[in-house]
Amino acid sequence: MSKDATTGERADSEGELAPLAVHLAALAAGRGGSVLVEGEPGIGKTTLLARTAREAARLGCRVLRASADGPAKTVPLGPLLAALDGADRPQRTAAGEVGTMLLMDRLTARFARLASDGPLVLLLDDLHRADEDTLLAWQRLGATAARLPMLLVAAVRRGPERPDLGRLRRGLRDQGAHVLGLTARSPQELERLAEALPGTLTGPPDGSGSLPTDAVETLRLAALLGPEFGAAELAAATGRLPSDLFGTVDAAMAAGVLADAGERLAFRHPAIRQHLYDGLPSSVRAAAHRRLARGLAQRGEPRERVAEQLLAATGDGRTDDWTADWIGRHAEGLVRTRPEVAVELLQRALQRLPADDPRLAPLERDLATAAFRLRRPECTAIVRRLLDRATTPDRRALLTTSLAHGLFWEGRWSEALSALDDAGTPGALSPLWDNRIHALRALTLWSAGRHDEAGPLAERVVCRAQETGDTQAEAYGRHTLALGLLRQRRPEAALAENSRALTVSRRVRAVGQHALENTDVRVAMLVNRAVMLGMLDRPATALEALHEAREMCEEHGIHGHLSGIGMTGAVLNYWTGRWDAALADLDAIAELPMITWLPVLRHGVAALIHGHRDHDEDARSAFEALRGHPDPGGLQRGHASYRIMAGALMAERDGRPHEALTVLLPTLSSEYARDLDQRYQWLPDVVRLALAVGDRSTARAAAAIGSAEAEREPHTGRTAAAQRSRGLVDQDPAPLLAAADSYTRAGRPLQAGQALEDAAAVVASLGDLAGARGHLDRAVAVYRKIGAAWDIRRAEARLRVLGVRPGQRGARGRPDSGWGALTPTELKVARLVAEGRSNPEIAAELYLSRRTVQTHVSHILRKLGVRSRTEVARQAAEHAAR
């Protein structure tokens, strides 16, 4: 049956409410979902939403309402923020001054938490007017609603469609949303509505219920505030006391213009508000928005609310002195909480200020900082324009670093280097700026793959910085040196240099963009520290570093690093066998902005986990997704390792061992594998596959490479890989068992199981079938613990040919529901939920992101068949008592 439903009945009839009543009944039973209400303007979509709200409230559901029309739409995520009351709205404390993506994350988590406490209905009117971030958030909420007692109902106008709205519509349908189409009112009904609105609002007072002129003018000002507004805001708009407005409000409610919306007032129909709003000429409307912004500011309303009004003040393009002064005073705060809004307001102000205005330089500084924080492609153009206007060398240097950072983030390293080369003529820059430019140049050279130039330059930067006491440049230089040592396969030395870089960065005293840059590089240092610790088989400490990096991002609003932090956690969890946690990490970063190289890593890890778990459809889907992404270059080329490993696994799963070996063979070339720092991980598989197809020369060559790498860098992973390879070539079980023990101590269960499987095969070939069965059973037990069903199948088939049958059966799947269905990580989360811990507290204790914790909580609620955290606690107590 199609998900579309066009009924042909009026929106205020029982027929239109019936499909929504079905969803409300399902919601009461704990099943959420999403509904998209479509129709022509004035057809009654808002009326249908209002009736849905009343019915949901009657059923005991919590109801939240918002509209994407009015000033709220000028602020990213404004409609969803407006849906939350003061107690539920994310706080803008120092720890909460976050960028849009982080705020989206918190909003999604907040709505999910409300739904976990009881059935939640979220209604959004005028979805077609929503900003792009709100559309993205609504789709994310749609995915969440399918797993929780949360019903989303959005009303959207039919007509020419924005591309992003079309993507949302397709995404909602893919999620299973119900699309409810409303047919148009009759021409007679539309004519009556058109006649009623002007007469009611503009007709002279005649004692028959029409509104007086002063009331109409008050309502026009109210229309500037949006579909809903508070009494204090209306007082600010009119310059009157709230008590002086009681008569006007009562008359408007009696006339059917306004309605009671709890502690706020709302226009009864969007067409009424639109009529009032459009009744003001654009120039008058812009001036009214500016006056309203001033009134809100004088009453001490939040700067974001004032900014909404200033953004809406379009039409004549004016930026008066008060506006420019207000933007100057509040730009720094807006850069932290609403960088997108800050960019727009600052650009408007800068376009109108004369070249000799003293406010110009600080506003340009704030605009550059906002662009640095956003890291969007369009922001590089903004910084380039600022560069064209810069006159002093040091000013140009500051803007150049902002531009280079943006280009760096987009992977446009050659352009970033060109920009740094143009920072100033030799000798024009101060020594401090000259060295800072070189520090960023060294890091960019390294990322671009020009390692021979990067290392010496970074060393010179560190020496100069120590002479001048410039801790910021020294931190950059040491960060680059640590990356160089990591590329040389010297993780211990890299870790030591990384520690020195972090120590130096903590001594930096900076403000504005300098402080943001320093925090940004500190986060990068912590992420790379986690990578180094992972290579040294210290996963617990690595996760601590990622947790610290994540906390810094949340505190300072650096949302661009979150995808990298989540991806690094997923890789660590993959190698340590915490595959449920790894997949939760991958889900959590799916909709975050990603650096160009991250998708290859994300889909590669997903394909490996699903492939080992024998989830064929998911594995193929993830592997197919890799086709759309080229291998990363420069510093990030090593991430192509996961594409290679996934390709070999997929070929072997399909019964094509020759092809699996072919995928891996090019990496035996030292030139090809120069930047593939994970090559040692798959060398034992090269040996195993080569022996399986009768290619002993390749097997010996791969084993020799593994031994050489282990001698050059004797850490646990490389040594164990070399032992496993040599044991297979020599048909000697001793090094294979030693490798299994090493992998076990290092917390790498998949590789431990593979080494035990290899030992079983070697022992069987030597004629000891009983001994082989013991090793096979140990391997199967390890595989079962992490859910590696494919590896169990392969191992049993491999040993069956040698005459060995397992003493234990294959992996037993978890049940679909109940406590037995919970994964080990979900059990930990459930116990902490039962103790009354909040998601942030659980995230801190388990070193997970809050987004990942929310994913686990959603899975727990679904598997236990409950709707709230309280019910989880009750079931936990009952389960413990059994």
Tens of pLDDT, residues 648-680 = 999 999 999 999 999 999 889 887 777 777 788
Q: Do domains 4-185 and 819-881 have the same CATH topology?
A: no
Just give the CATH number of 280-374: 1.25.40
Just give the CATH number of 189-276: 1.10.10.10
Query: What average pLDDT does the segment 694-722 reach?
Result: 90
Name the 3-class secondary structure at 420: helix
pLDDT at residue 55 greater than cutoff 70: yes
What is the amino acid identity at position 11?
A
Query: What average pLDDT does the segment 89-95 reach?
Result: 40
Residues pairing with 150 in the sheet: 120
Tens of pLDDT, residues 347-403 = 888 888 887 888 888 888 888 888 877 777 777 888 888 888 877 887 888 888 888
Residue 637 — very low, low, confident or very high, per pLDDT cuts 50/70/90? confident
Residue 801 — very low, low, confident or very high, per pLDDT cuts 50/70/90? very high
How large a percentage of the chain has pLDDT more than 90?
Answer: 26
Give the pLDDT of residue 319. 64
Tens of pLDDT, residues 141-200 = 887 787 788 999 999 877 555 666 777 877 787 777 888 877 654 444 433 433 443 334
Tens of pLDDT, residues 513-550 = 667 777 888 898 999 999 899 888 888 899 889 988 98
Tens of pLDDT, residues 233-242 = 888 778 788 8
Q: Annotate 243-279 with b (16+ C-beta within 10 A) or e (fewer).
A: eebeebbebbeebebbeebeebbbbbbbebbbbbbeb
Question: DSSP states of 465-492 as a string?
Answer: HHHHT-HHHHHHHHHHHHHHHHHTT-HH
**513 Cβ contact list (under 8 Å, min separation 6):** 365, 368, 369, 372, 398, 401, 402
Give the pLDDT of residue 187. 44
Give the pLDDT of residue 205. 33
Number of H helices, E strands in the chain: 42, 9
Give the pLDDT of residue 529. 94
Nearest Cα neighbor of 401 from 419, 388, 427 is 419
Determine which of 322-326, 565-569, 651-655, 875-879 has the lowest per-residue pLDDT on average. Answer: 875-879
Q: Annotate 188-225 with b (16+ C-beta within 10 A) or e (fewer).
A: eeeeeeeeebeebbeeeeeeeebbeeebbbbbbbbbbb
pLDDT at residue 810 greater than cutoff 50: no
441/450 Cα distance (integer angstroms): 11
Give the pLDDT of residue 86. 46
pLDDT at residue 476 greater than cutoff 50: yes
Mean pLDDT of the chain: 81
pLDDT at residue 842 greater than cutoff 90: no
Determine which of 162-171, 811-820, 846-855 has the lowest per-residue pLDDT on average. Answer: 811-820
Give the pLDDT of residue 608. 96
Q: Which of the pair, 286 or 480, is modelled with greater confidence?
A: 480
pLDDT at residue 5 greater than cutoff 60: no
Determine which of 310-324, 424-438, 455-469, 653-667 has the lowest per-residue pLDDT on average. Answer: 310-324
* Helices marked H in 448-597: 451-468, 471-487, 491-505, 512-535, 539-556, 562-575, 579-588
How large a percentage of the chain has pLDDT more than 70?
Answer: 85
**Which tokens in the block code for residue 104?**
């989206």
Nearest Cα neighbor of 570 from 556, 560, 580, 555 is 580
**Which tokens in the block code for residue 712?**
């050059």
Just give the CATH number of 4-185: 3.40.50.300
Give the pLDDT of residue 200. 41
801/761 Cα distance (integer angstroms): 10
pLDDT at residue 87 greater than cutoff 70: no
pLDDT at residue 209 greater than cutoff 80: no
Question: DSSP states of 307-360 as a string?
Answer: HHHHHH--SS----HHHHHHHHHHHHHHHHH-HHHHHHHHHHHHHHS-TT-TTH
Give the pLDDT of residue 4. 35
97/556 Cα distance (integer angstroms): 7
Tens of pLDDT, residues 619-635 = 999 999 888 787 776 66
Question: DSSP states of 77-92 as a string?
Answer: THHHHHHS-TTTSPP-
State the fold for domain 819-881.
Arc Repressor Mutant, subunit A (1.10.10)
Give 25: exposed, middle or buried? Use CB within 10 Å, 0-12, 13-18, 19+. exposed
664/537 Cα distance (integer angstroms): 24
Domain ranges, ordered by start, for the chain = 4-185, 189-276, 280-374, 819-881
At residue 572, φ and ψ (nearest 5 deg) are -60, -45
Determine which of 21-30, 244-253, 749-758 has the lowest per-residue pLDDT on average. Answer: 21-30
Give the pLDDT of residue 163. 65
Tens of pLDDT, residues 264-282 = 788 877 667 777 887 777 7
Highest mean pLDDT pick, 670-684, 735-749, 799-813 = 735-749
183/191 Cα distance (integer angstroms): 16
Query: Please, what sign has the CA dihedral across residues 316, 319, 321, 322?
Result: positive
pLDDT at residue 9 greater than cutoff 70: no
